[in-house]
Amino acid sequence: MNYYYYQRAKNMTSIEEKLTQLNKQVVALFQNQKYSEAIEMGKQALELGKVQLGHKHPNTISALNNLTLLYDRVGDHARAEPLRQWNLQILNTTLEPQTA
């Protein structure tokens, strides 16, 4: 493996680990009913995932789900619904049958 690909893979792992930790912190804040803090951290997690790992990465999808649930919990369904639709779109495109 050449150096470029090694560094890229190493960086990807660091980002994945960071996003995993952010998602865990969001869940902990949610469980402690610190919803506004959880939402802010959830937004950061989702943005990091979208930009660094892509829309379909499992950690990005976890961040998306977390933020959707948070908005629902605080009654902000207007913000939750577009995220829910985005999640369904990802799910539908991921599950579409592959054609040869």
Q: What letter does residue 99 receive in the DSSP assignment?
A: P
SS3 label, residue 74: coil
Question: What distance, in Å, lies between the first and last C-alpha atoms of the chain?
Answer: 31
Instruction: Please give the angle made by the CA atoms of 12, 71 and 28, to the nearest 5 degrees.
Output: 60
Note the pLDDT tens digit of each residue in 46-94. Answer: 999 999 999 999 999 999 999 999 999 999 999 999 999 999 998 888 7
Sign of the dihedral through C-alpha 12, 87, 90, 32: positive
Q: How does DSSP classify residue 57?
A: S
pTM: 0.81
pLDDT in tens, 26-46: 999 999 999 999 999 999 999
Which structure tokens are listed for 22?
Answer: 């952010």
Instruction: Please report where in the chains the tokens 């951290």 appear, as a residue.
Output: 41
d(CA 73, CA 69): 6
